[in-house]
Structure 1
Amino acid sequence: MDLTNCRSMEILRMLGLAADYRAQANAVSAEANFDSVFVTSLAPEGRLLADWRIPSVNEQREYIRTHNDGTQPAEPGQRCSQIVFEAWLKGIVVRKANVTSKLGWTYVGHIETDNGVTASFVDGTGASHVVLARYLVGCDGGSSRVRKCAGIKMLGGQIPVRFYLVHFRSAELAQKLKFGRFWHAFPVGTGFMIDQDEKDTFTAHYPIPDGMHESLDPREVVYKMLGGCLGRWEIKIDEVLVHSEWQPSFSVAETYSTEKGHVLLAGDAAHRNPPHGGYGMNSGVVDAIDLGWRLAAVIKGYGGEGLLEAYGDERRPMMIRALQRSHRHVFEHVVLGDIYNKVWESLVGNTSEAEQQDALALVRSYLITSGPETLDRGIELDLRYDHSPFIFPDGTPPVPWEVKSYQPSTRPGSRAPHVFLKNGVTSTYDLFGAEWTLVYFCEEDEDNGVRTLTDTAKRMGFPLQHVVLRGEEHVRRIWERDLVLVRPDTHVAWRANEAPATREEAENILQVVAGKMPLPGHVRDGDKPAIAGEGGSSFV
């Protein structure tokens, strides 16, 4: 993983962590570009075929500032190696007083009952441990033992191609980048190279030829990767940090939780996809924030068990949509490979200059039409949970959904839009509390019945932060209603121009959104939206 996308970054902003993450020593600077280059070779004799230009963090911030219309995220994405991201997060977690960390323990198995889970572990000394818990969350990766022990099936499978990953340091390569610093480089006839830290750390992902089973020399893999279709290019490698074989997969868990509801899945344990589009780890971040608030609500008592049942109903369709888009991105590279095969002789320089120019024009045209893989704002931002039994609808029709763009809406189930307030600095995402937030647009001394809702929430033990915005007409236009109730995961649960008239009406709304009872008349079997990919394909 080398991209923490805009959705993950705005979640980190809401948690007060975004600036600290960007400040990590090996995170790419705010001035660095997000460009991808397609070349015959990264060697001095290589030729640039095309590039995908994506602005730096600073340039994206300026665009967000000047397009304050709700269509943008609260934060740009951040280029940073997963190795750095995970170490940084681990440090934050282990320092938390309310977290007990048992690092080095290995999960062995569990038994689920009607009341909870008994899980077995072995520590580094070989000693066995048994933990009794109300819930067990499997965040243990694509080969999840928790998922297997729970008997949850994965739908889909691996792509019939293997890659060899080499994570390495090379000062010489950093000094000899003919095409400048990049994010990804795609030399013809090989895989892809990542410039990890804008310094001297790179990662090569090299496709292993069919039928090859002997061990590979990681340094030779790098030389072949760099050379592309022009043959190996040997440079000095200062250190090989990590090298391993991996195989991409398209799969999703049949369900995100067990029937008893005490074992749940998140991240790669629930879904696996290739790196194309950057949906893997980032979808795991969204899983974590989405499941975390539900567990908190149930354990604190104000939330019903229905929230946990709805976790998979809400997240799984959105992940299927991301998987389909990732499949599209993979297929585009397959088509590109076919184009390379047709014009191979021209790419290696064995034809006339005119034929080489024709080949260059063909490749460039295809890549420009295809475009970058990490600007799918519909996939990243336009997550919709309006089919959930614990979203309180207002009867309005949904806005059109697009892959490449996000149209702001506070229609219940939608992600609340980011908009800067009049001061140009404070985002609506900076207003959200640790739990629920009621945003109220009003003029001086207006109550509009809001006290009925807030008093009812207090009586029910429903944690509600009340934010009053006066004179923010621009934000109000984009947010569409005077009253908007935002969940801890930043999705809208309810909205209206007037507060509930009675305590009973307020209690009914809060009971639904807290998972104490499903929306009256809701039919669960028909709640999953149709998720179709290009060409009408489906993945259910």
Structure 2
Amino acid sequence: MTTSTGQIDVLVVGAGPTGLACAILLGRAGIRTHVVARHTGTATHPKAHVVNARSMEILRQWGLSAAVAEAALPPDRGLGMGWMTRMAGRELGRLMVDDDPQALHAALNDSSEILRSCPQDVLEPLLLKAATASSNVTVEFSTEVLTADQDGEGVTTRARVVRDGGERLFRSAYVIAADGARSTIRRHLGIANDEFQATAHMIGVHFTADLADYQSERPFLLWWIVNPDTQGVFIALDGRHRWTYLFGYDPTRNMPTDFTGERCARIVRDAVGAPGLDVRVHGVFPWRMETAIAHRFRDRRVFLAGDAAHRFPPTGGFGMNTGIQDAHNLAWKLAHVLRGTAGEGLLDTYESERRPVAVTNALQSKANAEGLAPTGALLADPESLRAVEDEESAEGEVLRAAIAAAIPAQRDQALFNGQTFGYLYESAAIVDDGTEAPVSSVSVYRPTARPGARAPHLWLTGPDGDHVALVDATGDGFAVLAGPRGDAWEGAAAVVRERYEIDVAVLRVGPDCPWTDKDGEWAALYGVGAAGCVLIRPDGHVGMRHADEPGDATGVLCAAVAQILARETSPLTVG
């Protein structure tokens, strides 16, 4: 039996973090959104766990950051990474955030939020609740998409209901394919991948065991295990009882089904170094560690997001975060096009902005994974580690010293604020001001308000005396930040609201202004004078910057908005 739905604005395929983030954003924008997923519900395995500070800023705008922080690993239990022969064995070295005062200061001050470790099976129910709280959003599990066929007016998506085999037809203006690494829609569209490395085969074991006795003086988020019996990494999920252990296997010697719960419990005991440990295995999750980027993120009315568009090794934790930030970039653009306040060309900027970020994150994640080799962790040759636990042999001493010497080079896996915040978009939806931006490294973020950058974090005091972060003040729409002599920009914003039928908030910041910044440095940080302004897009990135009042603020701001929303064809350059 085939049933059809009425017209939907956007069909989201996949209800993982990326798909649910799309639904939340579209629902907040008033867009009729339906989510389908082949799974029976939210994730039952922890899978990803890093929610970086940029993603936490986005969750903050949705009112979710406090709930995620409450559900996450306590920060004092995840201050770094340790390498040891076994959890109960000898420590070979460590990388700790609080050992680097400059990095710790940056982690606490580059954003209103800090990185949290919140497992995917805990995060997804929070996202689902937020998505379905909107009357614009519906979510349907146990529904497997088969095809998505486009015409000039929309997309017809055919799906199978898992529980009874019935067929569903969905008609939507657009489709977001957030259906994971083996994306059915990507394959249906014939979109190829760039592969950057050979696949590694991995097992993730979700288990509970009381490991508190092994954690004294070791507040590690990641515990890298290096011995001849097993090489892998423990991920602390709650700081004591709940854990994941990841390790590689040789597919020419084992099938995923060979890793039963009983066998995985033995492997966990070997990795801990406690033969009698009480281990309860809750799930065994086979997966492939790979790096791949889709050649295209858009095919007419269909957009790829999250793992459907890009896959990385987990080293650095950028996979889920890149997907959430894909959603943050795409949803506001779809909303404006669907409301008729933007031209179709705005949608082309999704790929031109997000694909370079995905490539950068993929290559760095790959480099992180490859850089682990000298430490003996994860996919090492067991024979090469034969002497690592031999306290009496000179060979063991040399091997341990070599591993310890290789650990400082893993810094980019633990400290990556520059990678988190330092990327810049370049597209037709960015008005270039001709300036050079300071270049961030992986670990060091150099704030800039050059158009294309994420607007640097500020603490502001508002008209009612509330102390808020910039992301709180700007919200989901466009926002103009102007200096004390920026009266002309207020008038310009009023014209933009009427002419383009969009919301534009105006924040006058500075002495004797409705808004003041805590440190009095916003103008220098943003590179504007007392009469200058920046225009911040709905995704928190700077769309236009003008250092001083140009004499025709209305013309400049209208032209910038028109370019960003693809409502004019000629590009604008603001000098």
* TM-score scaled by length of structure 1: 0.86
For structure 2, list consecutive stretches of 5 or more residues without a partner in the other structure: 1-47
Which amino acid is 2:73 matched to? V
- 1:117 alignment counterpart: 155
2:259 to 210, 216, 219: 216
Closer, same or farther: CA 308–500 of 1 in aligned 2, 3 Å: farther
* Pairwise CA distance, 1:372: 4.9
- Contact 2:482–2:489 under 8 Å retained in 1: no
- 1:525 alignment counterpart: none
- 2:183 alignment counterpart: 144
- Contact 2:535–2:542 under 8 Å retained in 1: yes
- 1:307 alignment counterpart: 346
Taking the aligned partners of 1:170 and 1:10, their CA distance within structure 2 comes to 33
For structure 1, list consecutive stretches of 5 or more residues without a partner in the other structure: 523-540
- Contact 1:484–1:492 under 8 Å retained in 2: yes
Taking the aligned partners of 2:445 and 2:466, their CA distance within structure 1 comes to 21
- 1:255 alignment counterpart: 296
- Contact 2:57–2:112 under 8 Å retained in 1: yes
1:336 to 353, 375, 381: 375
- Contact 1:381–1:415 under 8 Å retained in 2: yes
Which amino acid is 1:304 matched to? G
- 1:532 alignment counterpart: none
Closer, same or farther: CA 30–276 of 1 in aligned 2, 3 Å: closer
Deviations 1:507-526 (CA, angstroms, capped at 9, x unpaired): 3221101122345389xxxx
* Pairwise CA distance, 1:341: 6.9
Deviations 1:163-205 (CA, angstroms, capped at 9, x unpaired): 111101113x344446644211111141111111113111111
- Contact 1:159–1:247 under 8 Å retained in 2: no
* Pairwise CA distance, 1:92: 1.5
Closer, same or farther: CA 216–178 of 1 in aligned 2, 3 Å: farther
Taking the aligned partners of 2:294 and 2:107, their CA distance within structure 1 comes to 39
* Pairwise CA distance, 1:270: 0.3
Deviations 1:443-501 (CA, angstroms, capped at 9, x unpaired): 5xx51353034323322212211112232431222111231100111100001121561
Closer, same or farther: CA 121–466 of 1 in aligned 2, 3 Å: same
Taking the aligned partners of 1:63 and 1:305, their CA distance within structure 2 comes to 42
Taking the aligned partners of 1:502 and 1:475, their CA distance within structure 2 comes to 20
CA-based RMSD of the aligned residues comes to 2.8
Could you say which structure has the higher strand fraction?
A: 2
- 2:413 alignment counterpart: 373
- 2:95 alignment counterpart: 52
- Contact 1:256–1:264 under 8 Å retained in 2: yes
Taking the aligned partners of 2:264 and 2:355, their CA distance within structure 1 comes to 37
- 1:191 alignment counterpart: 232
Deviations 1:43-98 (CA, angstroms, capped at 9, x unpaired): 3xx10000111359xx999835985xxxx122110011111111211121122211
* TM-score scaled by length of structure 2: 0.81
- 2:321 alignment counterpart: 282
Closer, same or farther: CA 421–178 of 1 in aligned 2, 3 Å: closer
Count of residues in correspondence between the two structures: 503
Which amino acid is 1:361 matched to? A
- 1:434 alignment counterpart: 476
- Contact 1:450–1:499 under 8 Å retained in 2: no
- Contact 2:368–2:413 under 8 Å retained in 1: yes
Q: Quick check: 146-155 or 425-434, which moved more?
A: 425-434
Q: Secondary structure at the match of 2:424?
A: coil
- 1:462 alignment counterpart: 502
1:514 to 565, 568, 573: 565
- Contact 1:109–1:119 under 8 Å retained in 2: yes
Taking the aligned partners of 2:179 and 2:233, their CA distance within structure 1 comes to 27
Taking the aligned partners of 1:38 and 1:122, their CA distance within structure 2 comes to 47
Q: Equivalent residues in 2 for 1:112-511 (5 A)? A: 112-123=150-161, 124-156=163-195, 159-171=198-210, 173-177=211-215, 180-189=218-227, 190-209=231-250, 211-214=252-255, 215-228=258-271, 233-237=275-279, 239-258=280-299, 261-337=300-376, 344-349=385-390, 351-352=392-393, 356-385=396-425, 387-421=426-460, 425-442=467-484, 447-471=487-511, 472=516, 473-481=520-528, 482-496=532-546, 497-498=548-549, 501=552, 503-511=554-562
Q: Secondary structure at the match of 2:278?
A: coil
Q: Percent identity?
A: 25
Taking the aligned partners of 2:334 and 2:395, their CA distance within structure 1 comes to 62
Taking the aligned partners of 1:66 and 1:206, their CA distance within structure 2 comes to 32
Which amino acid is 2:536 matched to? V
- 1:29 alignment counterpart: 74
